[in-house]
Amino acid sequence: MDSGYLNRKETEVKVAIARRVKNKNPAPIQITAEQILREARERQEAEIRPPNQKITDQTEVADYRLRKRKEFESLISRVGWNKSVWVKYAEWEESQNDLKRARSIWERALVIDALNRDHTIWLKYVHMEMKNKFVNHARNLWDRAVIRLPRVDQLWYKYIHMEEMLGNVAGARGIFERWMRWMPDQQGWLSYIKFELRYNETERAREIFQRFVQCHPKVSAWIRFAKFEMKNGEIGRVRNCYERAVDKLADDDEEAEQLFVAFAEFEEKCRETDRARCIYKFALDHIPKGRAEDLYSKFVAFEKQYGDREGIEDAIVGKSRFQYEDQVRKNPRNYDTWFDYIRLEESIGNKERIREVYERAIANVPPAEEKRYWQRYIYLWINYALYEELDAQDMERTRHVYRECLKLIPHHKFSFANIWLLAAQFEIRQLRLKEARLLLGEAIGRAPKDKIFKKYIEIELHFGNIDRCRKLYEKYLEWSPENCYAWSKFAELERSLYETERARAVFELAIDQPALDIPELLWKAYIDFEISEGEFERTRALYERLLNRTKHLKVWISYAKFEASAMGSDIKQKKKCLQHARDVFERAVSYLINSAPELKEERVILLEEWIYMENNFGELGDANLVRAKLPKKLKKRRQTETEDGPAAYEEYIDYLFPEQTTNMKLLDSAYKWKKQRVASKD
């Protein structure tokens, strides 16, 4: 070996021996770790720091500020994308009490698109305004922030918190309403509900819950709604809430198990054991076994407490399979049995067996080409396709199922819009928009239906293809020109695009159609459109055209109300509007007297509306003008007739109008004169 190596080893051994402590007794003077650290700190050299600058006059202050601003501006010119530079710059200006410059810096930062989308910039900007008690500035900033970033919940929360801290409850409620239009997540809705409950607004909270479950139709939302009603002691409302949730979510929601468990536990608390048992059994029949573990354990515990387990075992054991096989063998076209059988197999989860049962079920084609025989059968195909897509997640098989189903349906006699739409929506989910359009176009060509047109237009509108929407509406109206709903929606589309003349042209084409299914809907939409555009003369002309077609009571009343509502703040304008409304009522009364004297009740309703209008005009109105036209109510009796002849008398209300009273007096006078003349001859 190397001699140097041996020497090093010998030295290490000597050092190790020397380091051994011979005296292990405690030292007379103990040194603590704190003392060691203090001494080490004292022996350290002083940290080199730049000298403190003392500013003594305004010139030095100005120089200091100029120097700092140049430094910040230099940083911004180099790394303007870095938000921390902008934040430090604005905060420094704020520390100098120059809020105008600070605002300018924040606004310059917000011009940059990347920073404009960063909600932390907005928060710091608003925090500066709030800290300095510029409330209106803060409100303006919050408004800009939530308009720019409506999906950032933190902005809404802080905006609402500020208004609530200021005691502006109505303002906070208004901000919540603006937020809810963006349909936020569940926490946003729950915050709104808690806000109303803090102010004991139970009815408002209930109304918000109604909107909440419509926006988020999930089991957790319905359960929260039910617990809210339970807390308020509304047992009937709780049950109604659970029943509505079951109707909407029991069949297709993955959390349906929680819903049924909560529903059953509620009935159990109310000591309605029979109801709870029915809920459990219904749930076990409708929820696949793989998703019902908790439900099953709850049901077992329930039966141990209130009943026996035989009913549960009979519903789950393999006997059910043999029973279904026996039923489908006896009647292979009993599709309800096939549905139950398939549901049983799906609860077990064997893919091959599920597909086998589906194939056997769809092989039983209805015996005749009549839609009533196919209405139940077609849902076998729908369930099959949904199973392949959602559970088996085999997209090619799903596509094959839809194609085979569409080939099988005799479209020359009848069709099913749901199949076309489901197939198209499946292709959209697979990002195959071209194939979806081909399917919907084929559906329109082979079997046009209202639902197909509506859904196709909705899809194209969702993608922003306005020209396609127009073409679809044109085809829709070529196929069904009497469809007032289609005309109204077409005009509504054009109006939403600010194409006023196009919308008016659509309405004109619509009302010129020889036949319409709901003409009153179309006319009302046209009139409302012109009113919203402020075209009162056009609206008046529309009412006149409508009266040329129909003299219905509602048309007269609507026309008069329109004339009364067109008044402005000027007293002359009010009088003019009042006179126009009176002219309409006069024409209506004249028409009912001369052309439809039998419509007495309609005439009374018209006069009452007239009086109500006169009262609403205050000092300008004169209800006495109308009261003179009111009739007297008379109770009369008439004989009712049956197949066997007169049976009895019934009372009814008749009306005697002033002009009838005058005529009656003339008849009485003529009768007396004739009687006197006959008596004088005798």
pLDDT tens per residue across span 568-617: 556 777 777 778 888 888 888 888 888 877 787 887 888 888 888 878 77
Position 398 scores a pLDDT of 92
DSSP state of 291: G
Distance CA 40, CA 35 (A): 9
Average pLDDT over residues 549-572: 78
Question: Could you tell me which residues come within 8 angstroms of residue 192 by beta carbon, excluding any fewer than 6 positions away?
Answer: 176, 179, 180, 208
Q: Using only C-alpha atoms, what is the Rg of the chain? A: 41
Judge contact between 260 and 279, C-beta under 8 A. yes
Is pLDDT above 70 for 124? Answer: yes
DSSP state of 82: -
Find where tokens 């319905």 sit.
222
Judged by average pLDDT, the poorest of 5-19, 463-477, 559-573 is 5-19
Position 120 scores a pLDDT of 86
Distance CA 253, CA 134 (A): 49
> pLDDT tens digits, residue range 234-262?
888 888 888 888 888 766 667 777 888 88
DSSP state of 622: -
DSSP state of 534: T
Is pLDDT above 80 for 392? Answer: yes
Question: Could you tell me which residues come within 8 angstroms of residue 410 by beta carbon, excluding any fewer than 6 positions away?
Answer: 369
Average pLDDT over residues 451-478: 89
Residue, of 498 and 663, whose pLDDT is higher: 498
What's at 326, amino acid-wise?
Answer: D
| Of residues 580, 574, 636, 582, the one with CA closest to residue 606 | 582
Is pLDDT above 50 for 410? Answer: yes
Question: Could you tell me which residues come within 8 angstroms of residue 349 by beta carbon, excluding any fewer than 6 positions away?
Answer: 288, 289, 290
Judged by average pLDDT, the poorest of 110-114, 202-206, 281-285, 536-540 is 281-285
Q: What is the average pLDDT value for the chain, to the nearest integer?
A: 81
DSSP state of 391: I
Please name the helix (run of DSSP H) or strand (run of DSSP E) that holds residue 285, with its range, or none.
Answer: helix 273-286
> pLDDT tens digits, residue range 621-680?
777 777 777 777 777 777 776 666 556 777 777 777 776 665 555 555 666 666 677 667
Residue, of 666 and 294, whose pLDDT is higher: 294
Average pLDDT over residues 45-56: 67
Is pLDDT above 50 for 338? Answer: yes
Position 293 scores a pLDDT of 65
Percent of the chain with pLDDT over 70: 85
Q: Which residues pair with 633 in a beta bridge?
A: 655
Distance CA 85, CA 99 (A): 17
Distance CA 302, CA 36 (A): 70
Q: Which residues pair with 646 in a beta bridge?
A: 641
385: pLDDT confidence band, cut at 50, 70 and 90? very high
